[in-house]
Amino acid sequence: MKWFDPISCLVLIVLGFAFFLNGFDELRRRRIVEDIPTSTIRGLALGPVEVIGKARTRTELISPIMQKTCVFYKYLIERYRKRGNLRDWVMIAYGDSSAVPFIVEDSTGSIMVCPEGADYIMPEDFKYETSSSDSLPGNLKRFSSNYMQSYIGLLSKQHKLRFSEWIIQEGDSVYALGTAQKSTYICREMNKKTKILFNKLKNDPVRLKRIDLNKDGQISQEECRWAEEHIKKSLLEKMGTSAETGDVQDVVVAKGEKDEPFIISDQSQKYVRINLTAQSPLQIIFGGLAAVTGIGLLINMIV
C-alpha cells in the first residue's frame, strides 16, 4: 500500500497496542467495581472501598460556567479543527476542583472524599457548541474573560467552540470507589503542594519582595518559613480544614498508592459498569487488528 510509509506503520502499531491495552484495563477496572462490595461508612476498613451516599458541602464552590453552588466541578473547552480531510475536537482549556475535598454521607456516618486523581464518570450537566459566526452568550463571555485569558485570540477569531461542564451538588447521590486511608494523605499532599507553590514564589521577583518583611533586600530563613506557613494556611482553608488546628477526619477516601482504580460518579454503580465496558470490546478488537496490520505492513516493506 503506497500510502503507508514506515512512520505511518509505526504510528498504527503504537496506537493499536494503546487501544488494545486500554480495552483490557477498562475490563480490569469493571471487575474491581463488581468485586468490591459496597460498604457502610461506619463499617468500612482501610484499603479498597466502595461507598454510596449523599454529597455534603465541606467547602462551598461555584461552578465556573453555570455559576451553580456545588461540591465539585470540572469543565472542558474544545476547538473544532480541520486538518486536510480530518475533523476533530481539540482541548484548549480544562479545569476542576479536585484539590478541594467534599463529604459523602450515608445513614451510618460521613467520610471525606479527596477527589484529586480520580476518574470522573459523569454525564455532562452543561454543553454548548458555537458556530464560527456565533457570538458567545453572556455567561460564556464572563467565563472566558475569567478563565481563558490565554485563548482570547481564538475567541476573537470566532472559532467553532464546545463548552462542557460537570458538577456534583449538595444532596446529589455519589458513588466513590477508592482507597480508605488515614488522613496523613492530606498532610502529604499539602506538603507537596506547599513546596510547589513556594518554588513558584521564589521564581517570581514581584511576589518575592512581599515576603521580605524587614525590607532589607534579603530573604532570611525566618521569612522563608513564614512564607511556607502562610501558603500552608491558605491551602488548609481552601480544603475546608481548620487553619489553626488542621482538623480533618481520621480516615478519607482518596487515590491509593498503587495502580488501584479511583472512580467518582454522581450516577449508579450500574451506570459506572456500563460506561467502563461500553468501548472495551471494540478497543480490544480494533486495537489488535491495527497493531497486527501495522506489523504486517512494516515486515512487508522490509522484506
Per-residue model confidence (pLDDT) at position 245: 36
Residue 198 CA: distances (Å) to CA of 2, 220, 228: 55, 14, 6
Answer whether 64's CB lies under 8 Å from 75's CB.
yes
- The secondary structure of the chain in percent helix, strand, coil, rounded to multiples of 5, reads 40, 25, 35
Mean pLDDT of the chain: 78
Highest mean pLDDT among 110-119, 185-194, 276-285: 110-119
> What whole-number distance in Å separates Cα of residue 179 and Cα of residue 256?
5
How many residues appear in the chain? 303
Per-residue model confidence (pLDDT) at position 242: 39
Per-residue model confidence (pLDDT) at position 239: 54
> What whole-number distance in Å separates Cα of residue 13 and Cα of residue 182?
43
Render pLDDT for 226-267 as a digit per residue (tens, 0 to 9): 677 677 666 655 555 433 333 345 789 998 877 788 999 999
Per-residue model confidence (pLDDT) at position 72: 95
Per-residue model confidence (pLDDT) at position 246: 39
Scanning the structure block, which residue is given the C-alpha cell 482541548? 91
As to burial, measured by CB atoms within 10 angstroms (0-12 exposed, 13-18 middle, 19+ buried), residue 111 is: buried
Vertex 119 angle, CA 117 and 120, to 5°: 120
What's the pTM? 0.67
For helices 269-277 and 6-35, the axis angle rounded to 10 degrees is 160
Per-residue model confidence (pLDDT) at position 111: 92
Per-residue model confidence (pLDDT) at position 153: 55
Chain center to CA of 122: 12
Render pLDDT for 283-297 as a digit per residue (tens, 0 to 9): 777 778 877 887 877
Helices (H), the chain: 6-35, 138-147, 152-156, 184-202, 205-210, 221-238, 269-277, 280-302
In the predicted model, what is the mean pLDDT of residues 93-99? 86
Residue 41 DSSP one-character state: T
Which amino acid is located at 166 in the chain? Answer: W
> What whole-number distance in Å separates Cα of residue 104 and Cα of residue 51?
8
